[in-house]
Structure 1
Amino acid sequence: MNDSTMTSKDWAIQVEDKAAIMSETATAEEEQWKRQSIYNIHPYISDLNSKAFVPQVVSFGPYHHGKDHLKYMERHKERALLQFLKRSKNPFEVFMESLVCIEEDLKNSYDLLGDEWRQDSDKFLKMMILDGCFMVEIIRAATDEVRDYSLRDPIFSDHGGIYVVPIIKRDMMLLENQLPILLIDTLLAVEANKPEDLGMAKELIGKFFCLGSGRWKEGKFLHLLDIYRYSLVQEQRCEDEDIIHSATHLVESGVKFRKSKSLRLSDIKFKDGILSLPTITVDDTTESTFLNLMAYERLHVGAGNEVTSYVFFMKGILDRADDVAHLVGKGIIKNAYGSNKHVADLFNRLSKDITIDPNGELEKVQKTVNLYRKKHRHRWRASLVRTYFVNPWVIITALAAIWIFGFDSIASVYSVLSYYK
């Protein structure tokens, strides 16, 4: 009997039957909801900004597994698994047996797990161990916990840490792209031959995301995003000083800008409060040229990262039109591109999904500049100069006031001496 031929009486009987078994299924359904922590984003949420919820280079878990634009990273997952197993010196079967024991818990973490994963245990567990080991190896390589990959490795080397890991880190933060923390904890515990110790993942992830070393809550975390959220709420993150502030902000902190002696992009120096930058002409060819230069540095291991680091550095300096105007006034930027705002927007576009070499010279410059701007005397002196010594009439007035004050003081002294005499 279909819905179109169902009478009101038949429908009433059906509703009563469902109501009779509702209490029995409600408890089981509620328990299932409690286990869920990794959700498929509904369109009414994702429509706000669809790109914000979709991984760019790698899938973790079932929701985005097998998508064409993410397949490239699958072969690197297999390499990571082999390296993980080689280092652990434990048989592969030991890890798989440990995952079989928690298979249902892993599956129940996902609110919409398709039948292809629910019914095929081998397929599901293979995906879990590949994705889990890859995440562990990415974190370890990025935090220098392991150094047994080739220096020319496109993912796990210093080169990969600059060009690929920042994008992977962004993909790790997506709700649809989470792995149960139980999976990571189990892999680490079996590797360390401590199968009962299920608390190592949060420390490893905390180091990777610079979440500080404060006291972690008692109990279990659900996934990486849950750990990151906890750190935000509890404010136990470590301060990130690996950024350069805008030109306007630096000027207010007492930093002065000057043209470098050469045109080399690497000729950026900071000494005695003066930040020297090479002169650059920005025109209609700049965006295309820089994008291709950075693509070459990204893809060719050993090419270097000077251009990429320069663009990232300048993006921080040129935050707004006022910043560009200041560097134009100093002769550092020759603007043949458009308005100053257009130049600032250009560097913001160029710097998307890139970072600076953490061991490069520009990183050292950034840290030196940050140490300088933190000193209050530099900010106070800069404020004094801006207030009293920018306008020549203000300078003349201040000098006149000082002269009059000094003259009056001398006259007063003579008056007192004459009185006593």
Structure 2
Amino acid sequence: MSKGPIHHGNKSLKLGEKYKLMWAAKYIKNTGSIQRDLHKNIVDNIDKLKGHFDDDVLTLTGNSLEGFDSLEEKLSWMLLVDGCSLLYILEKDRLVEPGPMDIKVDQLAIVMVDVLLLENQLPYEVLELLWKDNNKSELIKSTTNFLECLWARPGKSQPEKEKDVVPNESQLEKEDDEEGQHNVSIPNESHSKTPTHLLDLQHKMIATASKPKTKSNETADMKGSQEKNKFEMITYRNIQDLKAVGIRLKSSKTQSPRDMDFCEGWFAATLTLPEIVVDDTLAFTYLNLIAYEMCPDFKNDYVICSYVAFMESLIDHPEDVKELRSKRILLNCLGSDEEVAKLFNIIGTDLTTNIDTYYDVRCKINKHYSNRYKTWIAKGFENHFSSPWTIIAFSAASIALVLTLIQTLFTIHPACK
């Protein structure tokens, strides 16, 4: 199913055009809107809306004007149908009960994939012009709720989704303060930045940190930044190698790529990673977001690319996936652990990353990994105390040794008299 002018008129997508007309009509009927008024909203702003599309796309659209007098007329009708049908799809109950859409669940999954394709994006302004009552805050709430349902891990209740998975609509703008640390601001509704399109909104929601930084984290980050010159050469190591030197894994209980941290103890350390659900749509979701980040006109810090590259560096073998599963960081809905490892190796190839995104975390991992004393102690625990039985055996032997020593002392004491 196509949205927008890029794939409009594709013969292989003809069935989708029939569904779009049906959903657009249902949206107009359900909202009590008048089609003529909605179309006028688009027509009155068509020159501005045209500016969101490349000249090549507009030229391709204008090559066939069958049934239309001009490019503007064709484009305005296209945006009306596509925009209304998209708003109908975005209604909160669609993912739970697709019955009113007259499609089956397997077809619904395809539709949800299509509406987030980079080449299928409609300008967000189109949705605002077609939204009922022109209430922008309600529109942003509706679109974020839709994306939350798509992104949230299975089994979470709605309140947990809103709290842990993605920020709400008032948290979509982010700022960097004078010290360069990441913050999530709460802008006033009047001046909050409008998303470019639905995919841009999804990117903002995923890339925004779910947890504010604490003072201890800020101090650690500043210290890590000061060590950049010290650790010039940093190589990624898979999870099995990290485990061997006493680095344990912990879930951040969120799904934001920015919620990653590394804490070092006396002998062991903890790498905190965001949760991730691996299913049939994961490759599509990340490849689509990666393609968006690589668009020449989208200025960003490549947080998705950096996250996928970081995870790919940690996952080399099925054993790495198994460890992530055991710590409840990764939920494997795809199949075998080997399939998951291959998937990350595929989508993590040749990515443009931001070296600063996880630099402090990598520096701390490198520092711990390079400390031979901590490494020896960690390997000793791993080799000799990796199971409860070895710990029990060691405890029993220690107790027996102490009792033997005590008995010997009591035996020697009378003889000394």
Q: What's the TM-score, normalizing by structure 1? A: 0.45
State which structure, 1 or 2, has the greater radius of gyration over its C-alpha atoms: 1
Q: TM-score, normalised by structure 2?
A: 0.46
